[in-house]
Amino acid sequence: MDEATLIRRVDTPMHRAGMDRKARGITVKNAFAVSRPKLIDAKNILLVDDVLTSGETVSSCAKILKKNGAARVDVITLARAA
């Protein structure tokens, strides 16, 4: 488990219940970065999310991981918001 390679560069506001998918996407766009790309280069990554709401946060994270060399990014979530 690696909690240091994927980092939040920008403090984003908490998602509010009334936000639609587009608004949630805007809040996390460019919010994440990879601090150690050599560790993920050509690797399959399993990204764990506690609660999936719109999916925009994990989507943003997956995109930045792929952009920095990850071969594949899969997501597992523990709960889905209604």
- Domain assignment present for residue 27? The answer is yes
Global pTM reads: 0.84
DSSP 72: E
Quick: pLDDT tens for 11-39.
876 666 567 777 777 778 889 999 999 99
Answer whether 54's CB lies under 8 Å from 24's CB: yes
What pLDDT does 13 receive? 67
| Total tally of structural domains belonging to the chain | 1
- Domain assignment present for residue 1? The answer is no
**Cα 1 to chain center, whole Å?**
15
| Residue 23 belongs to domain spanning | 6-80
Quick: pLDDT tens for 38-81.
999 999 999 999 988 888 889 999 999 999 999 999 999 999 88
What pLDDT does 23 receive? 77
Quick: pLDDT tens for 57-66.
899 999 999 9
What pLDDT does 15 receive? 61
Distance between CA 35 and CA 55 in Å, rounded?
22
- Domain assignment present for residue 54? The answer is yes
